[in-house]
Structure 1
Amino acid sequence: MRRFVFWMMVVAVLFWQGVAESGVRQAAYAGKFYPAQPRKLAQAIDDLLADAIDSNLPKPVAIVVPHAGWVYSGNILADAFRLVSRYSYDVVVLLGTNHTAHSLKGAAVFDAGAYRTPLGDAAVDESIAKALIGLGKPMIAAPADHQDEHSIEVVLPFVQKCFPSASVVPVIVGGSNAATWEKAGAMLARILKGKNALIVASSDLSHYPDADTARKVDLQTLSAICSMNPAAAEEQIHGIERANRGLSTAACGLMPILTAMKAANDLGAMHASIISYANSGDTLLGDRKRVVGYGAVAMTVEDVPAAAAPEAKVPVAGAFTEELTAEQKETLLRFARKSLQMYLGSETLPLFRDPDPVFYSHCGAFVTLKKQGNLRGCIGHLEADTKMYRIVGKMAISAATQDPRFSPLDIRDLQDVHIEISLLTPYRPVASFNDIVVGKHGVLLKKFGQYAVFLPQVATEQGWDRSQMLDHLCRKAGFDESCWKKNASFEVFEAMVFEEP
């Protein structure tokens, strides 16, 4: 056993020596933060760019983007790259956040070779990298500090897809000293002057407040960044952290952001605009009680008309009470289908952006999938405790992947699937099964800690009367038929049901 362990260690050492000798920084987070299969990764980027907002901002000198898992932050990342993909760049400088190299105080430059993702190798611009190092500290050659850091790798596939012929300069900015970002930013501007370069600062925003607090705090942080005054922004952001004790940080990549701001200033960019904002609680899979914020910012030489900068606001509404219009129903059906297409096809998700307040009201919902007229999945959530768009998207994915009666749906079968949505009113108890109206009421049966539910349309579609419906409901709950006649309780609800044409 000891001999086996010894030789495994030797193999590992030789492997890492091979990595170092080759000068290629291997992909460490493929399959964790973004898809690992090249075809699926390329599809994910295409899906996210297609779902991104179309900004008319002028050509950026620098952008700020997030670096979390793509199911949470990919939409905001794509918003920034959809903007810059309208322009051409010869070199992209990637300023990463230091999560892992705890002794790093300066700016660690990956100075030769390439950065690898499943899309291939992104060649390092060695002339620029070595010119930066030649200016002295805080710029240092430290490729080893890049090995376990994800903040550059997560962004890089978008660079490769949008600018396939561009070279890259990966730099991790560490420490917390103002002199570091000030000197690093000035050095960067000095070397990039006259070059067709894009600076990308990689940073998430607030860590772990609830969704509503995150939105308030993050917009303050984004406002500070848009001041284009890095010294003032640093002071303001630290003030935000002091004033909100529940934050782990207001911006985990503050040093890259400040470095980018300083460099952009020196290159003539004195204007900045918010491209987009969301937090993980706005996504279909995020927990709104504990979120991370994501913002995209563009720093430009040209000023931006006030109307060109989008507002990062989300409507707030109460409980779902009103009939939806045909257009509102169509919006939800399109979102449900897009959620399935992106999740099944590329492990990504759309970000809901329609400002209509009705979609932010709370309700329960079921999503039913049928294939050639036959049930292919149906899952719902009864409690009216989730925003309408989120519950529809989540239940669509759950119906496709988690209904225990069926195997998970394959993307190749999706074109044959028909989607039906049932938005639920809050459910209420009834004194007796005699109060249940077939065709009007959905029914929740409870008995001895077990339960089962039917939507209002089920009995009508099956041609059941009330007794037959309750018999089938008992069987669904794991009891014998007629269990409803004794020691059972009932709650009813109504549903607004609509489907794809």
Structure 2
Amino acid sequence: MKFGILKTYVVPHPPIILPEIGRGREKDVNATGTAFKQIAREIAELAPDTIILSSPHAPLYRDAFFMSCSDIDRGDMGNFGFPSIKESLNNDLELADLVLQKAEQNDIPIFADTRENKLDHGSFVPLYFIRKEYKDFEFLRIGLSALSAKTHYLLGQIIAEAAEKLKRRVVFIASGDLSHALKEDGPYGYKPEGPKFDKMVTDILSRTAFDELLTMPKKLINEAAQCGLSSFQIMAGAFDGKDVEAELLSYEGTFGVGYAVCRFVPQKQNSDRQFLELQKTGGKTEDPYIALARHTIQEYISKGIIPDLPKDLPTEMTEKRAATFVSLHRNGNLRGCIGTLEPRQNSLASEIQNNAVSAATKDPRFSPLKVYELEDLEISVDVLLPIEKIKSLEELDPKKYGVIVSSGYRRGVLLPNLEGVDTVEEQVAIAREKAGIAANEKYSLERFEVIRHE
């Protein structure tokens, strides 16, 4: 008899697919409903001991995962006008306890909520179909977090290890919709990133290229207005080190939201699919400028210290002085940017350290960086070349030159080659507004080039 993760499924969670709620409109997503009924029959044939489900609509925390550790999970569809549609499930607390132990050993924060938790609709909709075919199972519900893709994947590994150790026969359900921006009349209107995201994710899932789930473009993820990716990353981690057979059972975008149903079956062991280990050993060595900024931020945020300079830095970083800017992004969004127009420290390396700490803790637009944000922090370091005075806008190019707009003591700076800044007029206007200089005031212009490390 096999133990551990027997099968996993990616599923959506549209309440309208329930006939009581859809009142006929469920027929508009008939392929999704048919796929749900199919996987419910498959699960009944497997007769698992436990069903684990990850849901984007369970309680969501920035710096930890939610896990329901009450004796029973109950829920209904009262929020959608049907409180009479109810479910009640006994939780697998022994499995939950082992997952918690392993998570603590791996520094993965999980909030074990022992209160009686109401089932969210991201969990309820899949369970509605499953429990029509099979009810003799215990349950374990997990939420998502704002932690990194790698951390979600690692949680999946831990879940699989715990299931195998306890000799549990487990089915994992990764609940999550794809893009909510597929149509103008959809919940978020239409964005071209919506169909692009759905095509990319369904392709990745069909090929079981789970490493690609961990490195999808952040801008695409944000613009697609999706809710399932982190759930799929947990599921993928449960298959780490194994070949996987996949089948996309259905995909629909009828209501402007992507609904995919996909089945995954583990096969033989394959060390080439240990994706976190491969990322550790197979990637390029990080640029020393970025590595220094990252190490400095990590030490300062986690320990409150600015570390000594590494002894193996390039001589250009230790023997030269230069002005720098350090920019921080998370999930495609700016998280801090601080810099200097003239060198203030005794070396370029010290300049980077000083500005890295300032970008992480002193940018007035943001709260100081938190420990949980460190893992997926994107860092760029710009080293400024000499500043030049200019007389007209014709001497600017927003892709090549940064700009300094000055009027008296007020000074606004904008770095070159920034996403969304395409014209000289836009560049100057943004820098001017940053300095509080009105359009009708006199101002002077300077330009500079940078060497960008990212």
Q: Place the TM-score, normalised by the shorter chain, in its bin.
A: 0.3 to 0.5
TM-score where L is the length of structure 1: 0.41
